[in-house]
Amino acid sequence: MDAFLTSLFAMALAEFGDRPQILCAALAIRYGRVSPVLWGLGLATLCNCAISAVAGSAVHQWISEDPLQLFYALSLIFAGIGMVAWRRPTDLLDDWSLGPFWTSFLGLFILQFGDKGQFILAATAARTDMALFAAAGGWVGVMIACVPAILLRRRLADAIPIAKVRFVGGAAFLLVGGILALSAWGIV
């Protein structure tokens, strides 16, 4: 259960106000249909979560506990930096003419691949050796962050101070990651 809850909360926080959430809202506005964008998001996220969990599970077998904790700490630190630092604008895929499902699926799969959330999920799976629970929690976390953007579209940005949430979330990741890194080195 640790892997499920850890990845759920970390992924929900990491994806809030991030490019996948923005792209989901933009695609829902562009196509005016919720269902294909939801299915595209769900399948793209499931594929990325599975890839991350399998990679993390493989890493778990190769290295010992302290380096695994350091790997997890670094994934949180880099996620925190990514949340508080400048980021490039999201490509809204205006040139893509694949239809709502395929544009959503492929666009979100590519956008999420190699993103901070994928490293957090891989590190969670590696640290806990519960790849299935980490993948499930990560999938639910991304869905918690992105489904409201699809359903509410622009109203989500108007209702919630996204910049402040990203700053506080980034600071939390930096703090927890820093403490875990110091612990992995035996300093704390």
Instruction: Report which of residues 61 and 89 the model is more confident about.
Output: 61
pLDDT band at 16 (very low <50, low <70, confident <90, very high): confident
Structure tokens at 42: 């769900």
Q: How far apart are CA 115 and CA 142, in angstroms?
A: 12
Work out the widest C-alpha separation in the chain, in whole angstroms. Answer: 54
Residue 90's pLDDT is what?
Answer: 65
Q: How far apart are CA 10 and CA 124, in angstroms?
A: 10
Q: How far is CA 158 from the centre of its chain?
A: 22
What integer best gives the mean pLDDT of the chain?
88
Average pLDDT of the segment spanning 101-121: 91
Q: What angle do CA 177, 134, 126 make, to 5 degrees?
A: 60
Task: Quickly tell me which residue has 């940005």 as its tokens.
Answer: 157
Instruction: Report which of residues 159 and 22 the model is more confident about.
Output: 22
Q: How far apart are CA 137 and CA 120, in angstroms?
A: 12
DSSP 3-state of 60: helix
Q: Comparing 68-77, 111-120, 149-158, 160-169, which segment has the lowest mean pLDDT?
A: 149-158
Residue 93's pLDDT is what?
Answer: 72
Cα 107 to Cα 76, 79, 91, 175: the distances in Å are: 25, 21, 9, 32
CB atoms within 10 A of CB 91: 14
Question: pTM for the complete prediction?
Answer: 0.88
Which has the closest alpha carbon to 102: 11, 18, 31? 31
Structural domain boundaries in the chain: 2-65+91-160
- Say whether pLDDT at 49 is over 80: yes
Residue 125's pLDDT is what?
Answer: 92
